Amino acid sequence: MITRRVFCLATLCGAAVGRNGAAEQSPLPEGTGQVAVSVQDRPIELFTYKPPGFRSGPLIMVFHGVLRNADEYRDHARGMGDRHQALIVAPRFTEADFPLEKYQLGGLRVNGSIRPSSEWTWQWVAPIADAIRRRESRPEMPLFLIGHSGGGQFLVRLAGFVSTGAKRVVAANAGTLLFPSREYAFPYGFGELPDELSNDDALRRYLAQPLTFYLGSGDIERDEYLDVKPAADRQGMTRFERGRNAFALGQRLAEERGWEFGWRLVIAEGVEHDHEKMFDHPQCQKALFDTP
């Protein structure tokens, strides 16, 4: 049975939710569920899964790809929830409200204009996580983020510009990446952005993020969803190649500058562009938790 509830994120939509209000105190249902929330007076759905007997595990937020199939991503992440006794939350960013510029590219630049950071879609992640923590009465519940394909693009660029407090940010099989270089124009790199978003301090913060490039070695098809513009192909000809190139560039830059390097590269051998197989692969645990 799917349970559906509606509540408002007080920190973002301006509505006051009392400390004793049902919105903050009602925990998510065990098993699969669906919660409709309002963020800045705009609705967004969260598809959830709570393993039987869930008590003290982490929160894993799962980010869908271009098909916006958050319910399917939730269903295919249930194995992660069971294996790690983790709460699964998969937001749906509809194409109507969050086209490519606002989802995969995070809303940093829309119609050629740099937007204030308060309007970036990446800024929704931490408040949604905090709302779930309040419902579960666990303000310190550890947060992990994993996204595949378009969701991987969302998260790799999030890591470039926003800190969510997540223990690990996993970008799986992203079609294009944010290269840590001003020689690549945004959204492929930091080029053509204002200095405060692209200077050495910005690059150093990006390289320090707990970011995992989680790649299927079989993801080598140039399918209909892959960005094949010249600027994208400069990163590599396939998703697998682009992910390896992005990681290598970041590792080299960190070594040259003596900067902290928080990135990881994890490869799921033989897996193609398939989020379910990536989630179920044994390497997914390493990608999320840095342990085999």
Look over the chain and give the mean of its residue pLDDT values, rounded to a whole number. Answer: 91
The tens digit of pLDDT for each residue in 185-237 reads 999 999 999 999 999 999 999 999 999 999 999 999 999 999 999 999 999 99
Q: What is the 3-state secondary structure (H, E, C) of 16-67?
A: CCCCCCHHHHCCCCCEEEEEEEEECCEEEEEEEEECCCCCCCCEEEEECCCC
| pLDDT score of 283 more than 60 | yes
Structure confidence at residue 19 (pLDDT): 35
- How do 113-114 and 143-148 pair as beta strands? unpaired
| pLDDT score of 139 more than 80 | yes
Structure confidence at residue 258 (pLDDT): 98
**CATH number for position 201:** 3.40.50.1820
Mean pLDDT of 34-50: 85
Give the integer Cα–Cα distance in Å for 45 and 108. 22
Hey, how many other C-beta atoms are within 10 angstroms of the C-beta on 133? 18
Helix axes 239-257, 200-208, angle to 10 degrees: 110
Give the integer Cα–Cα distance in Å for 78 and 184. 37
Mean pLDDT of 109-138: 94
Please, which residues have CB within 8 angstroms of residue 243's CB and are 6 or more apart in sequence? 171, 173, 174, 177, 213, 215, 236, 265
> What is residue 162's three-state secondary structure?
coil
Sheet with 59-63, strands from edge to edge, namely 3-8, 31-39, 42-50, 87-92, 59-63, 143-148, 168-172, 211-216, 264-268
Structure confidence at residue 25 (pLDDT): 60
Give the integer Cα–Cα distance in Å for 219 and 231. 20
Helix axes 200-208, 150-161, angle to 10 degrees: 120
How many independent structural domains does the chain possess? 1
Which residue range forms the structural domain that includes residue 223?
Answer: 3-289
The tens digit of pLDDT for each residue in 142-155 reads 999 999 999 999 99
Mean pLDDT of 133-143: 95
CB-facing half-sphere around the CA of 217: CA atoms within 13 A:
8
| pLDDT score of 39 more than 50 | yes
The tens digit of pLDDT for each residue in 1-29 reads 344 444 444 333 333 333 333 444 689 99
Q: Give the CA angle between residues 270, 271, 277 to the nearest 5°.
A: 140
Give the integer Cα–Cα distance in Å for 237 and 23. 47
Please, which residues have CB within 8 angstroms of residue 28's CB and are 6 or more apart in sequence? 35, 48, 50, 87, 132, 135, 136
Structure confidence at residue 44 (pLDDT): 81
Mean pLDDT of 255-276: 98
> What is residue 123's three-state secondary structure?
helix
| pLDDT score of 102 more than 60 | yes
Residue with tokens 């197989």: 277
Structure confidence at residue 11 (pLDDT): 37
Structure confidence at residue 18 (pLDDT): 35
Q: What is the pTM of this model?
A: 0.91
Structure tokens that stand for 126 in this block: 């931490």
